[in-house]
Amino acid sequence: MDNNNTGRKLFVLDTNILMHDPTAIYHFEEHDIYLPMVVLEELDSHKTGTSELARNVRQTNRMLVELMSNAPHEQIVSGLPIPSFASAKNGNSSGKLFFQTDEFDQVVPTTLPGHKVDNTILATALGLQKKYAGEKQVIIISKDINLRIKAGILGITAEDYYNDQVLDDVTLLHSGLHILENDFWDTHAKDMDSWQESGRTYYKVTGPLVGQWNPNDCLSTQDNEFQAIVKTLEGKTAVVQLVRDYTQSKNSVWGITARNREQNFSLNLLLDPDIDFVTLQGSAGTGKTLLTIAAGLTQVLDQNRYNEILMTRVTIPV
């Protein structure tokens, strides 16, 4: 069913959106949000634990309770006004938050078992399309690519969630990691110098690619045999420091070892006393919080480099 003829949109959120970003309900501007009952059930089953996902679920639940507080049942059924981040500053409401209060008789094809959460969301979206035909465009928002594929097959618009990205095009965001081509040393090894200092190995390299680097950028060959961090830059000459290998258990940080190249670079940056601020970006469950806490604990309790650890969470306007 084609319902793309209206400007008003109704976004049906998958559970993984709220587990990925508990502030998601504030990012849809003037459009409305719909939470199927099965999504609330899934949130309930993931709220326990100390993982980042569990914390995100609990934060989502707190925000939903805050929005529902003092609201009569009639308003909950008709839609709760929710502020966007921009409108929250002046107290204006934006779209509305709808909870599923009706059971739709819309069914998905028999080849899709109805007891699966994804298929229940699809059936709900089909029911909403029928209910709001000509009034609102119904769109499923999910991080699950298979759900989006099935939605497309059934004629439901489905999109990934990008509203947590500061840049419209995430490819423009500097990753801080440079993968060196196999011929890198052919063009950068001339007049190269190396030395040992305080138990660490340094290289001075000169070449055309150096101009693309920044201090504290991470360098790695494609086979990961060479991994280094840029320490200083002067024109097309850079001094780089070989990283410590935290994938080895002998170098573990509070029992934590790096599981991949990115985690190894992260620990090297977090444990460098010459770096005042480290930003780690990645999806939930990639170890950002765990690595940061481990690095903080070892520098406070083992190395006595700092006196305390301060942890904060993002402030959510409600």
* Same structural domain, 247 and 289: yes
- Let me know whether 203 and 155 are in one domain: no
pTM: 0.55
Which among 215, 20, 10 is positioned nearest to 95, based on CA atoms? 10
Say what the pLDDT of residue 308 is.
Answer: 94
93 within some domain: yes
Q: Position of tokens 């150096």?
A: 210
**Last residue of some domain: 159, 194, 224?**
159
Q: Are 220 and 250 found together in one domain? A: yes
Residues 86 and 128 in one domain: yes
Confidence of residue 86 (pLDDT cuts 50, 70, 90): very low
E runs forming strands in the chain: 9-13, 32-35, 80-81, 96-99, 137-141, 157-159, 177-180, 193-197, 200-206, 218-221, 227-234, 237-242
Question: Which domain covers residue 142, as residue numbers?
Answer: 9-159
Flag whether 126 is in a domain. Answer: yes
Helices (H) and strands (E) in the chain, counts: 9, 12
The mean per-residue pLDDT over the stretch 172-200 comes to 87
Within 204-257, where are the H helices?
none
pLDDT the model gives residue 114: 61
- Quick one: 298 and 180 in the same domain? yes
What's the whole-number mean pLDDT along residues 224-251? 94
Among 58-67, 93-102, 165-174, 306-315, whose mean pLDDT is lowest?
165-174
Across 237-249, average pLDDT: 96
Question: What is the chain's mean pLDDT, rounded?
Answer: 86
Confidence of residue 51 (pLDDT cuts 50, 70, 90): confident
In angstroms, the Cα distances linking 306 to 30, 60, 274 are: 46, 33, 13
Among 100, 126, 159, the domain boundary falls at 159
Write out the E strands in 181-280: 193-197, 200-206, 218-221, 227-234, 237-242
Q: How many CA atoms lie within 13 A of 303 on its CB side?
A: 13
Residue 175 scores a pLDDT above 90: no
